[in-house]
């Protein structure tokens, strides 16, 4: 729209809307030449403001954008006004004030309990909010894992420990198995017998066998049916299952709460909130940066980012003007490259499958000829997965250069592919484990439902695999800075040959680091059902990783040239974490509901599958409650419920569309009003001449 240079400025400054904006500015008014209509002491200005907003809706003084002296006057006038209010309203006001004061005291005290508050504050000051969001995310995972550990420990491990030591007069009860073939119940874990070499302990610690197998770390330890505490019966199988479902639900709800918190968006407007220029300019500078070097880097990265975005816009225009022939060429090239990507992925998956089968077959022979070789064979799946997780992103970032997307989309697509590779690798490992366990060839699992000869206690085996994955991941995360980053930094600072300087220092790539942690967290979620103390190991692991990453950040890395912003990075971390959690539901769900639980160990010996505990317990409820619960799970309830949910959803979609239309109409009206205003002002100015 064309501007109206003829509109005289002093008329504009007389308008009521301009006056109210200036009145609210209070303090700086004194230094300006008095204009028409701005006379009047500041006391009356403040009172006029309050009268605008209505008496009862008066906000507390500190929410007014004035200086402290002015706020003091406002508060005094507020209090003077309340003198003539009724007693009820006075009491309500004072009680709400004291409540707010108490809440702020509690908040002030609880801020001392926050873990690593000072560390994260200093990181924020030196590196900006983008990198700080990574460390806040790490802190969130430490707390989440700790709470999951407390949950599993107090409901599953603690009762057994109490009964093993006979505290509170407690005992364990074992119900004899009913119609289970005796052959399914043979299970002899090789806890260490007699004199063994010291390195056997180390080997056992690393591979989860030997003495570790019979500890409370793994599922096989919990072979009880009930715990009697004085005269109360504590149903351990039910507690185990419910604790598992509880930690999955808790993680889900907490992640959703965190992702909604920082994301109060007006979803009516279509534009992408993270890519908008206004977001980059008005919220572009991190006011918490205290280090001049970091500020210089921030200036440079802002300049780079703005230039990239402007170029990308021009590129989008060019893309829109592509000819049909060019489009055809590019689409066929993209399809070809996607086929290459899929074939690389299938290659990864197939190799993981083969290696897992090989490792399972060869680690079950206990000849111990060369225990180092045995250890390597056991860790083979972990090594292959880590290798695949390292190589695949490099190949993807190389290939995407040929696909001719805009730079922002390139980053997103590469990230998506890397996430998929990492999470799918775990899925393939579990799938190959299950194919081994349910390998019902010629009569191998007839009596028990699973391959009882190789896996008498298959849940412990799965737990062991997850444990090994976690330990190996931890070793890799510790080894990479020690053997790659520090030598690289030493080389770069002391050797000035051209090749090494061109390599340069490594950037602190946030996405790679985040994918690493999320991979570890997904393993923890899957493994916590099979190995209840795994969350404790995860807590300790992330605790140590925080300090390792902090040291690495401060000493060896330089901040990335194109940083991710704090809000979009928070959203991205939580989104990928949610995908990891949803993917973790699948293996745990299949194990609980579909694969027969092992009859030789564990709390679910006397049930067909682990899930059966729940129908079994419901059958012991009074019959009225039983009918309600069974009714809720039947189709007669599910179909109408689904239909009602659909209707409610359609209603909200229609409401959102109606709101969007209203917003568009109001915008058009504003534009027309503004034009009318300019027109009228010009007419008045002309008439005055």
Partner 1 sequence: GAMGGSASLIPGDLLREYQELTFLSKQEILLAYKRFSELLPKEERENACSARVPKSQILTLPELRANPFQHRICHVFSTSEAGDDSMSFEDFLDMLSVFSDSATSDIKSHYAFRIFDFDDDGILDRKDLEQLVNCLTGQGEESRLSSAEMEQLIQNIVEESDIDKDGTINLSEFQHVVSRSPDFASSFKIVL
**Contact positions with partner 1 (CB under 8 A) in 7-66:** 17-18, 21-22, 24-25, 27-28, 30-32, 60-63, 65
Q: How many residues bind partner 1 (CB under 8 A)?
A: 80
Strand pairing of 226-229 and 232-234? Answer: antiparallel
- Strand arrangement, sheet containing 226-229: 170-173, 226-229, 232-234
How far, in Å, CA of 676 to CA of 658, rounded? 27
Pick 136 or 513: Cβ nearer partner 1: 136
Closest CB to partner 1 among residues 53, 361: 53
Q: For partner 1, which is the closer residue by CB, 62 or 558? A: 62
Minimum Å gap between C-beta 677 and partner 1 is 8
Residue whose CB is less far from partner 1, 76 or 361: 76
C-alpha–C-alpha distance, residues 563 and 569, integer Å: 10
Residues 613-672 that bind partner 1 (CB under 8 A): 667, 670-671
Name the residue with tokens 């600072």.
Answer: 493
Q: In the bound complex, what is the minimum distance in angstroms from residue 37's beta carbon to partner 1?
A: 14
Q: Specify whether the CB–CB gap between 562 and 302 falls below 8 A.
A: no
List the one residue out of 507, 504, 483 whose CA is nearest residue 495. Answer: 504
628, 633, 674, 680: residue in contact with partner 1 (rule CB under 8 A): 674
Whether the CB-CB separation of 557 and 131 falls below 8 Å is answered with no
Q: Which is nearer to partner 1, 69 or 619 (CB)?
A: 69
For residues 289 and 426, which CB has a smaller minimum distance to partner 1 in the complex?
A: 289
Residue 151 CB, nearest approach to partner 1 (Å): 30
For partner 1, which is the closer residue by CB, 318 or 325? 318
H-state helical runs in 193-235: 198-207
Residue span 437-476 as binding mask against partner 1, x where in contact by CB under 8 A, dash where not: ----------------------------------------
Dmax (CA) for the chain in angstroms is: 112
- Identify residues 250-289 at the interface with partner 1 (CB under 8 A): 262-263, 265-266, 269, 271, 273-274, 276-279, 281-289
Show contacts with partner 1 in window 547-576 (CB under 8 A): 565-568, 571
**Least separation, in Å, of the C-beta of 116 and partner 1?**
15
- Least distance (Å) from partner 1 to the CB of residue 566? 5
CA–CA separation, 309 vs 407, rounded Å?
A: 9
The Cα 542–Cα 554 span in angstroms is: 18
Q: Rounded to an integer, what distance in angstroms lies between the CA atom of residue 284 and that of residue 278?
A: 9
The tokens describing 381, both together, are 């799946």
Q: How far apart are CA 647 and CA 224, in angstroms?
A: 47
Q: Which among 35-43, 194-202, 297-305, 339-347 is the span making contact with partner 1, rule CB under 8 A? A: 297-305
**Footprint (CB under 8 A) of partner 1, residues 205-224:** none
Stretch 101-130 residues interacting with partner 1 (CB under 8 A): 101, 104, 107-108, 111, 121, 125, 129
DSSP-assigned states of every residue in 281-321: HHT-S-TT---HHHHHHHHHHHHHHHHHHHHHHHHHHHHHT
Nearer to partner 1, 125 or 210 (CB): 125
Nearest approach, Cβ of 275 to partner 1 (angstroms)? Answer: 11
Minimum distance from residue 73 beta carbon to partner 1 (Å): 11
26 φψ region: left (φ > 0), alpha (ψ -120 to 50), beta (else): left
Q: Which helix (H) or strand (E) holds 232?
A: strand 232-234
Taking the complex as a whole, how short is the minimal distance between the CB of residue 555 and partner 1, in angstroms? Answer: 21
Task: State which of residues 68, 99, 167, 205 lies at the interface with partner 1 (CB under 8 A).
Answer: 68
What part of residues 302-341 is at the interface with partner 1 (CB under 8 A)?
A: 302-303, 306-307, 310, 313
- Nearest Cα neighbor of 423 from 525, 567, 334, 541 is 525
Residues 586-605 that bind partner 1 (CB under 8 A): none
Cα 328 from chain centroid? 39
List 53, 361, 664, 673, residue binding partner 1 (CB under 8 A):
673
Residues 71-90, interacting with partner 1 (CB under 8 A): 71-72, 75
Q: By CB under 8 A, name the one of 190, 215, 290, 364 that touches partner 1.
A: 290
**Cβ atoms of 185 and 177 closer than 8 Å:** yes
Closest approach, Cβ 438 to partner 1, in A, equals 47
Q: How far is the CB of 260 from partner 1 (least distance, A)?
A: 12
Residue 24 tokens, joined:
């609210």
Q: Which residues are CB-contacts of 111 (< 8 A; sequence separation ≥ 6)? A: 117
- Whichever of 25 and 558 has its CB closer to partner 1, that residue is 25
- CB 75: neighbour CB atoms within 10 A? 15
Decide the pairing of beta strands 170-173 and 226-229: antiparallel
Length of the chain equals: 689
Which of positions 477-496 make contact with partner 1 (CB under 8 A)?
Answer: none
Closer residue to partner 1 (CB): 87 or 314? 314
Provide, rounded to whole angstroms, the least separation between the CB of residue 276 and partner 1. Answer: 6
What's the rounded Cα separation, in Å, for the pair 369 and 165? Answer: 39
| Residues forming beta bridges with residue 445, ordered by sequence position | none
Closer residue to partner 1 in complex, CB, 489/677 = 677
By C-beta, is 127 or 349 nearer to partner 1? 127
Q: Tell how many helices (H) and how many strands (E) occur in the chain.
A: 24, 3
Find the binding residues for partner 1 in span 379-418 (CB under 8 A): none
Q: Considering the complex, state which of residue 27 and residue 509 has its C-beta at the smaller distance from partner 1.
A: 27
Q: Hey, is 558 helix, strand or coil?
A: strand
- 199: contact with partner 1 by CB under 8 A: no
Q: With respect to partner 1, which residue has the nearer C-beta, 72 or 327?
A: 72
φ, ψ (nearest 5 deg) of residue 234: -100, 115
Least Cβ distance, residue 199 to partner 1 (angstroms): 50
Instruction: Please tell me the distance from the alpha carbon of residue 62 to that of residue 81, in angstroms, as a whole number.
Output: 17
- For residue 108, give both structure tokens: 């002030």
Q: Which of residues 480 and 678 has its CB atom nearest to partner 1 in the complex?
A: 678
CB atoms within 10 A of CB 58: 19
Could you tell me the smallest distance in angstroms from the CB atom of residue 19 to partner 1?
Answer: 10
Q: In this chain, which stretch among 81-89, 232-240, 299-307, 356-364 interacts with partner 1, using CB under 8 A?
A: 299-307
Please, which residue, 262 or 347, has the CB nearer to partner 1? 262
Which helix (H) or strand (E) covers residue 227, if one does?
strand 226-229
Q: Near partner 1 by CB under 8 A, which window of 43-51, 290-298, 389-397, 502-510? A: 290-298
Q: By CB under 8 A, what part of segment 142-161 binds partner 1?
A: none
- DSSP one-letter code for 153: I
């Amino acid at each position: 729209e064309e501007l109206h240079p003829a509109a005289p400025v002093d008329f504009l400054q007389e308008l009521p809307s301009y006056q109210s904006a200036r009145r609210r500015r209070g303090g700086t008014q004194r230094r300006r030449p008095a204009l028409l209509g701005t006379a009047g002491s500041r006391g009356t200005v403040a009172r006029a403001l309050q009268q605008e907003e209505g008496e009862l809706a008066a906000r507390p003084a500190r929410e007014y954008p004035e200086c402290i002296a002015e706020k003091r006057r406002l508060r005094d006038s507020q209090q003077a006004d309340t003198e003539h209010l009724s007693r009820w309203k006075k009491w309500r006001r004072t009680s709400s004030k004291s409540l707010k004061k108490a809440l702020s005291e509690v908040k002030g005290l609880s801020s001392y309990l926050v873990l690593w508050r000072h560390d994260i504050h200093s990181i924020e000051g030196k590196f900006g909010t983008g990198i700080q969001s990574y460390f806040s995310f790490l802190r969130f995972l430490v707390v989440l894992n700790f709470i999951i550990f407390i949950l599993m420990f107090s409901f599953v491990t603690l009762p057994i420990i109490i009964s093993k030591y006979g505290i509170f007069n407690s005992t364990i009860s074992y119900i004899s198995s009913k119609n289970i073939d005796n052959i399914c119940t043979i299970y002899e874990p090789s806890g260490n017998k007699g004199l063994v070499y010291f390195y056997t302990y180390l080997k056992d610690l690393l591979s989860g066998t030997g003495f570790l197998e019979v500890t409370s770390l793994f599922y096989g330890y919990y072979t009880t049916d009930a715990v009697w505490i004085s005269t109360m019966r504590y149903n351990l199988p039910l507690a185990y299952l419910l604790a598992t479902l509880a930690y999955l639900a808790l993680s889900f709800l907490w992640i959703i709460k965190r992702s909604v918190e920082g994301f109060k968006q007006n979803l009516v407007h279509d534009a992408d909130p993270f890519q908008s220029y206004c977001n980059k300019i008005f919220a572009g500078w991190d006011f918490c940066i205290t280090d001049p070097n970091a500020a210089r880097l921030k200036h440079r990265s802002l300049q780079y980012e703005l230039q990239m975005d402007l170029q990308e816009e021009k590129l989008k225009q060019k893309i829109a003007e592509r000819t049909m022939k060019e489009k055809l060429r590019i689409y066929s090239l993209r399809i070809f490259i996607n086929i290459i990507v899929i074939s690389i992925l299938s290659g990864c998956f197939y190799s993981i499958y083969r290696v897992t089968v090989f490792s399972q077959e060869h680690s079950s022979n206990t000849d111990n000829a060369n225990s180092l070789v045995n250890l390597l064979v056991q860790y083979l799946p972990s090594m292959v997965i880590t290798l695949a997780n390292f190589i695949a992103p490099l190949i993807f970032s190389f290939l995407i250069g040929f696909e001719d997307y805009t730079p922002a989309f390139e980053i997103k697509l590469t990230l998506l592919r890397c996430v998929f590779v990492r999470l799918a690798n775990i899925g393939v490992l579990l799938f190959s484990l299950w194919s081994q366990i349910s390998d019902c060839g010629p009569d191998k699992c007839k009596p028990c439902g699973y391959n009882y000869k190789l896996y008498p206690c298959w849940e412990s085996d799965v737990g062991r695999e997850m444990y090994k994955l976690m330990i190996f991941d931890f070793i890799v995360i510790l080894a990479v800075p020690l053997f790659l980053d520090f030598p690289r930094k030493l080389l770069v600072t002391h050797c000035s040959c051209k090749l090494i300087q061109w390599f340069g220092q490594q950037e602190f790539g946030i996405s790679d680091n985040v994918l690493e942690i999320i991979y570890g967290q997904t393993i923890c979620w899957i493994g916590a059902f099979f190995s209840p103390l795994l969350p404790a190991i995860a807590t300790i692991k992330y605790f140590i990783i925080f300090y390792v990453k902090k040291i690495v950040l401060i000493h060896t890395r330089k901040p990335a040239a194109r940083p991710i912003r704090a809000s979009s990075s928070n959203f991205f971390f939580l989104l990928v974490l949610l995908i990891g959690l949803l993917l973790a539901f699948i293996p745990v769900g299949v194990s609980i509901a579909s694969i027969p639980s092992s009859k030789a160990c564990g709390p679910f010996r006397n049930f067909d599958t682990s899930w059966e505990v729940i129908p079994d317990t419901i059958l012991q409820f009074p019959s009225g409650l039983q009918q309600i619960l069974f009714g809720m799970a039947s189709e007669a309830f599910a179909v109408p419920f689904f239909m009602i949910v659909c209707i409610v959803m359609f209603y909200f979609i229609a409401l959102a569309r109606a709101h969007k239309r209203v917003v568009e109409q109001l915008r058009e009206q504003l534009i027309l009003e503004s034009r009318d205003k300019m027109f009228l002002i010009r007419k008045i100015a002309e008439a005055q001449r």
